[in-house]
Structure 1
Amino acid sequence: MKPNPKLSILPGFLFVFDIDYPHEGAVEELICLADVNDSSDLIRVFDAVLKPEFVGYSESDRCWIIDTISYYLERGETFVEVLEKRSFLFSDEIVDGRGFMRVLLECLSLYQAEIGKVKNF
């Protein structure tokens, strides 16, 4: 049975960008120097930092996260609650929570598709 979308799972998922997460110096610098409000910078950070973490999740957890973000984007969620619960390493504040989550969803969907292609070989 597929779990219902839960906004409460997202702050924990985004902990990898938190100031309290144990990062290597180069990763910390990458996050700090990225423009969190620029999609190309976000994609670069997501690919370097989040992708290795995400691909290690179970299939059901990956789908649950993707479904949750998609569900709340469709319903007009601003994600203020989610994003305010983290002390991100990004130098700037996230101006558009929906934009941030939209880029995140695109990346996660791409990672999920890549995993599916690898399984089919």
Structure 2
Amino acid sequence: MKKTYEIVDIKNLLFVFDIENTTDVERERLIVEKNVNDSRQLKELFDTVLRPEFYEYTDAEQESLINTVEHFLDRNDNFDLVFDRMTTYFDEEITDRSSFMRLLLECLTKYRDETGCG
């Protein structure tokens, strides 16, 4: 049976950056301070904010998220369904969504490897 990939899974993962997720003032401040178009700063942001969130997923969920991001990157998706329906704390617009997602994939893979899965 062929796996069905849902782009909403990526949006759900990135909810930690959404303005609707207003539970942590310190996290909000940290997100605003980072330049999401600078790969070094974005990686730091992922490591600080997204890594703990990703660790809450089961091994199977982590693997599925990685495969989902990879799938949509392979399809050259523009990720409009992720970003156009989300208002983030990012201080500026993401100029290259594919680069953002490639870095996300790299970080998720690294986080999974850190847990000894995969």
TM-score (norm. length: structure 2): 0.91
**Structure 1 unaligned runs (5+)?**
none
SS in 1 for 2:60: helix
Question: Structure 2: which 5+ runs fail to align?
Answer: none
> 2:67 aligned with 1:102, yes or no?
no
Deviation string for 1:83-114 (max 9, x for gaps)?
Answer: 11111000001111111101110000000000
**1:19 matched residue in structure 2:** 19
Instruction: State the alpha-carbon separation in 1 of the partners of residues 67 and 92 from structure 2.
Output: 27
Report how far residue 3 of structure 1 moved: 4.5
1:64 alignment partner in structure 2? 64
Give aligned-pair identity as a percent: 38
Aligned residues: 117
Amino acid at match of 2:54: F
CA contact (8 A) 1:3 1:64 kept: no
Deviation digits for residues 64-96 of structure 1 (CA, Å, limit 9, x no counterpart): 110000011111111122111111000001111
- RMSD between aligned alpha carbons? 1.6
Check if 1:32 corresponds to 2:32: yes
CA distance in 1, matches of 2:95, 2:88: 13
Aligned partners of 1:27 and 1:49 also within 8 Å:
yes
Match of 1:114 in 2: 114
Large movers: runs of 4+ above 4 Å: none
Find out whether 1:85 has 2:85 as its counterpart.
Answer: yes
User: In the alignment, which residue of structure 2 is the partner of 1:55?
Assistant: 55
Aligned partners of 1:46 and 1:12: how far apart in 2? 15
Name the TM-score, length of structure 1 as normaliser: 0.89
